[in-house]
Chain A
Amino acid sequence: MFLKRIALAGAVSLMGSAAFAACSYENEVPIKSLSAGFEAWKAVTDAMAECGNFQAELDQEFRTKQPAAFEANPSLYQIGGVSNGTITPLLNAGTIRPLDDLVEKYGQNLSPNQLIRINGEIMAVAMMVNTQHLMYRSDILADLGIATPTTWDEVYAAADKIKAAGVVDYPLGATMKSGWNLAQEFVNMYPGHGGQFFNDDNTTAVNSDAGLAALATMKKALEYTDPEVLVSDSTYVQQQFQQGKIAMANLWASRAGAMNDEAESQVVGKVAMSAAPKATADGAPATTLWWDGIVIAKNISDEEADAAFRLAMEGLDTEMVSGANDAAIWLVSGYQPTDIAKGAIETATANPAPPAYPSTTQMGLLHTALGNELPAFLTGERDAAATLVAIEEAYTTSAKEAGVLK
């Protein structure tokens, strides 16, 4: 994480723009936003900047800054970019405001699907969905006569054939960088095997048969991945794809557009997307659904909130989408799903459908415990049963410190 912060310190671009190009009005109130730094956010904040008086901070480490920045009074940013994983601390601290009246005033173009309601109040406006799904080299699979895998068993069978054919360095790529990414792999796989994360009393339930099954499935991947997979994050896997080194990966939908970026990719038009593989034949795709969207700070004046929301709506309009159609799976009207959206749509509309990422205080603690304890299992220092016990213990310790468990 720290590494990303360094790498992206340069990407934290402050884009005060004086161009009033395609904005329908002129923004008079100075507005600042803090969001993640991927392509979709760049498109949205660029569109907002057209109205003037707007500064966007795009930072992949926004999640560590945002809670404190929004707790300040007045808040350091008026607009926040969040996902369903990172909205939790803002909701818990009560630092974002309900948007019902603002949606009524400016949100004529929003579809009901975009309004994130918590207890009936609109707390955020979603702009895109994201999920990890299967991306594969359609040319290689066609050459070898392999049907598109739909389960992890089929993925490994296909990987076997690709390995035997020796057409790429490694058949599989995986976002298994120790820490958040590796934990997320387990969070995808475990519900796929029918697992529940928590018991009713907030203790964790990962030490179960589903847990063992999920670990076994994850470990099998190591036979086909780069030996350095425990340092590989989404960007690394994306680059392995672009350089033609891997043939398949369960990767974020937000990375799909990069496969056809002619400036970076040597595999333009050769990477296809399909639904995330299932862990069991009749289960849901082994992945979680995410959304990204905007929130408005509570500790600002109503005028500022009004201006900020109006500006955000300008950023989330049809015109922005038509300019950056393939940057994300947009929820904004005017979006035309293309081939690269196929996998994400298949995943989200699967029956049974995968769960949304279960963001809660406990889940945050468990995610950290998973990220710290799973590597020892994958390096072979610890067996599966001992790893699940270690995860349970690590979670219990931190949950007691956080006051979630007595």
Chain B
Amino acid sequence: MKFRTFAAFVGPSVFMMLLFIAAPLISVFIQSFQVTQPILEQVEVETCTPGFLTQTCTTEIKTVPVLDDNGKTITETRWVGLQSYKNVLQMDKFWAAVGNGSWNDIMQIDFWKALRFTLSFTLLTLPLVIGVGLAIALAVNNATRAIRGPIIFISLLPFIITPVIGSLSIYWLFVGDGILTAMMERWSGQNISMFAQAWTIELLMYFYRVWHVAPFAFVIFYAGLQTVNMDTLESAVIDGASRWERLRHVIVPHLMPLIVFIALIHLMDCYRVFEEIVGFRSQAHVISLQWLTYDFMTPDDAGNRAISRASASAMLTMIGIVFLLILPLRRTWRDHKGSAH
């Protein structure tokens, strides 16, 4: 291909990637080393508040930002080095807790609490998603052709539902005297509160995520199953291989690149777990890294946002994803190099 043609094809997407991926990333990276503060002054302010019948006026010293001639807040941006990262990681507290050998103390530090959940969520759902996805794919592949269409349609439904809506639905099914909790209570004869302790909430989160993502794995695997070499499979049958042995030695090796692909996507998606936290209102018990970033970003009633810590937390999330992806990526790279020779 001529370079000009190549450039004309690739140019727009490279430009888009620079604009929408690289530029925000660089800006967040820079902001994580900066702190922007308004210039504040202390002034005496008299504020009158209505009671029911009369007003009460109070005079107090308030700290308020200084405005310039155009009525804009004057801000000052300083380089603070790794201060925001320190504020997020709280390493001094972390090492103190490690020194005490107290797991509970470590879990009191937001970042480490979030990291614990995010990692266990990501790593526990991964084998489940691949296993369930493969199981559905095999089941559909072996089903009679007549009912295959409807089965595929139904299996795909969870994947179509918007994650926030899906997690809200699960929340409503189980919170208080929700339908499913009421049913479980009738079976067990006990009062069950699914949202009163961390482990039940986490269990529901795992369940929800597997339910939601397994169809994606299923679609990919189902496509892969159509390309399994029939000759190999038939010779395996002739050699007396059981159904399990055929799966173990023929089908899974054939699907391996797809398994790695799904693992990659799933690790990336899961490490950014967020919808479950807000949907289940689980902040009191369980938080994730992405939720932590969101919490820093959310302005309070007085309009404060912790942009610097949010940036640092976002960068840390990205570093975490890179670490998680190294293993599967190295495998893909090896396979890629292997096939080139």
A residues whose Cβ falls under 8 Å from a Cβ of B: 1-3, 6, 63-64, 67, 84-86, 88-89, 91-95, 112-120, 126, 129, 177-179, 182, 200, 202, 226-228, 230-231, 236, 240, 289, 291, 298, 329, 331, 344-345, 348-349, 353, 356, 359-365, 367-368, 372, 375-376, 378-379, 381-382, 386, 390, 397-398, 401-404
Selected contact of A360 from candidates B175, B285, B302, CB within 8 Å = B302
B232 beta carbon closer than 8 Å to chain A: no
B52 close to A349 (CB less than 8 A): yes
B residues whose Cβ falls under 8 Å from a Cβ of A: 35, 37-40, 45-58, 61-65, 67, 71, 73, 84, 87, 104, 107-108, 110, 164-165, 168, 175-176, 193-198, 278-285, 294-295, 298-304, 306, 308-309
Q: A112: shortest Cβ distance to chain B, in Å?
A: 7
Selected contact of A118 from candidates B47, B55, B67, B285, CB within 8 Å = B47
A3 close to B283 (CB less than 8 A): no
B residues near A95, Cβ cutoff 8 Å:
71
A residues near B62, Cβ cutoff 8 Å:
360
Selected contact of B50 from candidates A2, A93, A126, A364, CB within 8 Å = A126
A residues near B303, Cβ cutoff 8 Å:
67, 88-89, 92-93, 361, 364
Selected contact of A364 from candidates B37, B51, B304, B309, CB within 8 Å = B304
Question: In the complex where A92-B64, A401-B306 touch, is A116 in contact with B52 (Cβ < 8 A)?
Answer: no
A1 close to B301 (CB less than 8 A): no
B279 close to A361 (CB less than 8 A): no
A376 close to B108 (CB less than 8 A): yes
How long is the Cα–Cα vector from A84 to B284 in the complex, in angstroms? 27
How long is the Cα–Cα vector from A381 to B48 in the complex, in angstroms? 41
A residues near B299, Cβ cutoff 8 Å:
63-64, 67, 89
- Among A1, A6, A367, A386, max chain B CB count under 10 A is at A6
A365 close to B87 (CB less than 8 A): no
* CB nearest neighbor in B for A230: B284
How long is the Cα–Cα vector from A255 to B158 in the complex, in angstroms? 36
B301 close to A230 (CB less than 8 A): no
A116 close to B108 (CB less than 8 A): no
A379 close to B284 (CB less than 8 A): yes
3 nearest CB pairs, A to B: A364-B302, A89-B303, A403-B37
B residues near A93, Cβ cutoff 8 Å:
65, 67, 73, 303
Question: In the complex where A120-B46, A291-B49, A298-B71 touch, is A361 in contact with B295 (Cβ < 8 A)?
Answer: no
* Given A3-B168, A117-B46, A117-B48; 19 other pairs, CB 8 A cutoff: A63-B299, A88-B303, A89-B302, A114-B50, A116-B50, A126-B50, A182-B284, A200-B61, A226-B176, A228-B193, A228-B194, A298-B71, A345-B52, A349-B51, A356-B49, A356-B56, A367-B301, A375-B283, A403-B39
Q: B108: shortest Cβ distance to chain A, in Å?
A: 6
B residues near A85, Cβ cutoff 8 Å:
301
* CB nearest neighbor in B for A354: B51
Question: In the complex where A113-B54, A178-B283, A381-B107 touch, is A401 in contact with B308 (Cβ < 8 A)?
Answer: yes
B residues near A401, Cβ cutoff 8 Å:
35, 37, 84, 87, 306, 308-309
B301 close to A344 (CB less than 8 A): no
Q: B31: shortest Cβ distance to chain A, in Å?
A: 12
A404 close to B300 (CB less than 8 A): no
Q: List 27 A-B contacts (CB under 8 A).
A: A84-B49, A113-B53, A115-B48, A116-B48, A117-B48, A118-B46, A118-B47, A118-B48, A178-B281, A179-B283, A231-B175, A231-B284, A356-B49, A361-B63, A363-B302, A372-B283, A375-B285, A381-B104, A381-B107, A382-B108, A397-B87, A398-B309, A401-B87, A401-B306, A403-B35, A403-B38, A404-B40
A359 close to B302 (CB less than 8 A): yes
A381 close to B71 (CB less than 8 A): no
A378 close to B284 (CB less than 8 A): yes
A63 close to B301 (CB less than 8 A): yes
* CB nearest neighbor in A for B40: A403
- Among A2, A86, A202, max chain B CB count under 10 A is at A2
* CB nearest neighbor in B for A363: B302
A residues near B306, Cβ cutoff 8 Å:
398, 401-402
Question: In the complex where A120-B46, A381-B107 touch, is A353 in contact with B302 (Cβ < 8 A)?
Answer: no
B residues near A2, Cβ cutoff 8 Å:
278, 294
Question: In the complex where A6-B164, A228-B176 touch, is A353 in contact with B56 (Cβ < 8 A)?
Answer: yes
B residues near A178, Cβ cutoff 8 Å:
281, 283-284
A residues near B309, Cβ cutoff 8 Å:
398, 401
* CB nearest neighbor in B for A2: B278
A64 close to B298 (CB less than 8 A): yes
B302 close to A88 (CB less than 8 A): yes
A residues near B57, Cβ cutoff 8 Å:
117
How long is the Cα–Cα vector from A179 to B298 in the complex, in angstroms? 12
- Among B47, B278, B295, max chain A CB count under 10 A is at B47
Q: B275: shortest Cβ distance to chain A, in Å?
A: 9
* CB nearest neighbor in A for B75: A403
How long is the Cα–Cα vector from A375 to B283 in the complex, in angstroms? 8
A129 close to B301 (CB less than 8 A): no
B residues near A356, Cβ cutoff 8 Å:
49, 56, 58
Q: B96: shortest Cβ distance to chain A, in Å?
A: 12
A residues near B107, Cβ cutoff 8 Å:
381
Question: In the complex where A116-B49, A402-B304 touch, is A361 in contact with B64 (Cβ < 8 A)?
Answer: yes
Q: B200: shortest Cβ distance to chain A, in Å?
A: 10
A residues near B278, Cβ cutoff 8 Å:
2-3
- Among A331, A365, A403, max chain B CB count under 10 A is at A403
B45 close to A119 (CB less than 8 A): yes
How long is the Cα–Cα vector from A92 to B73 in the complex, in angstroms? 8
A202 close to B63 (CB less than 8 A): yes
A231 close to B46 (CB less than 8 A): no
B285 close to A230 (CB less than 8 A): yes
